[in-house]
Amino acid sequence: MLVCVKRVPDTGGGFKLTPDEMRVDTTNLGFAISPHEECAVEEAIRIIEKHGGSSTVLTLGPPAAGEQLREAIAKGITGAILLEAEDYESWDPAATAQAIAETVKPLGFDLLLFGNESADTCNYQVGVRVAHLLDLPCVTGIKALEIQNGKAIAKRETKEGWEVYEVALPAVFTVKEGINTPRHPSLRGIMSAKKVPIEQKRVTRLAPQLVRKTLKKPQEGRQLEILGQGPEAVPKIVEKLRELGAI
């Protein structure tokens, strides 16, 4: 199994942009695996626990993205590949997919999991593009996955219920949060993950088709009115609820 993840800043409550307005200023931020991919990692571990086999986590990013690969290993993934690109922020989805497809093609994975879209750039494309380059079937945005006799049964949630897909392996799926609740790594997992070798490969970017010119914050227009402090504020809250037609 292959699971592809993206390293994204852990933004918390707000964004600061760099002075050139080209990226999020990450000086004081930690990093994490993007949420949908965190669930893809969990799903891969569960499938291996149930059916056996081996799992590899892959990312394209700076050398520091080894941190996210080790996090996945600490939880139970067995191998890791880092496609090293210092300029990873200027890679568009087509370039990223090309580098991933070239790397994984000779490795013959049965099941390839991606996140539906990354938290930061929200492009919704890398998994689909890799599937196309490898000529594999692909279902996006799944929230349930079962493996049975060389087939995958995947479910996609809709307003009315669930769409059920049955696809022959090998296949690509893009996962959405909600498919599972990701585990926390154990202390033993964290310790032993430090010793697992990460396969590193330098990759060069295809000429990009999408070029970022600037990043900006949208207008926010709310004026805060403090209703009070503690339970003493309750009458004011009730008055406001009445005013808003909530009662």
Query: CA 84, CA 207: separation in Å to the nearest integer?
Result: 17
27 forms part of the interface with other proteins (CB under 8 A): no
Residues 10, 151 contacting (CB under 8 angstroms) = no
> Binding marks (x or -) toward other proteins, 115..144, rule CB under 8 A?
--x-xxxxxxx--xx-xxx---xxxxx---
Assess 161 for contact with other proteins (CB under 8 A).
Answer: yes
Burial of 137 (0-12, 13-18, 19+ CB in 10 A): middle
Collapsed DSSP state (helix, strand, coil) of residue 117: coil
Distance of CA 137 to the CA centre of its chain: 20
Residue of 59, 116, 68, 69 lying closest to 91 (CA atoms): 59
Q: How many CA atoms lie within 13 A of 53 on its CB side?
A: 16
Residues belonging to the chain = 247
Cβ-based nearer residue to other proteins, 48 or 153: 153
How much is the CA Rg of the chain, to the nearest whole Å?
A: 21
| Closer residue to other proteins (CB): 56 or 125 | 125
Of residues 185-244, those binding other proteins (CB under 8 A): 207-218, 220, 222-231, 233-235, 237-238, 240-241, 244
Closer to other proteins by CB, 64 or 241: give it.
241
Is residue 92 a contact point for other proteins (CB under 8 A)?
yes
Give min distance, CB of 63 to other proteins, in A: 24
| Beta carbons within 10 angstroms of residue 187's beta carbon | 9
- Site for other proteins (CB under 8 A): how many residues? 81
Among positions 162-181, residues that touch other proteins (CB under 8 A) are 162-168, 176-178, 181
- Of 40, 81, 97, 142, the one binding other proteins (CB under 8 A) is 97
Which C-beta is closer to other proteins: that of 167 or that of 196? 167
Instruction: Report if residue 146 touches other proteins, rule: CB under 8 A.
Output: no
- Give the footprint of other proteins on residues 29-48 (CB under 8 A): 35-36
Q: Which CB sits closer to other proteins, 76 or 115?
A: 115
CA dist list (Å): 231 to 103, 139, 238: 60, 50, 12
* Cβ proximity to other proteins, 39 vs 44, nearer residue: 39
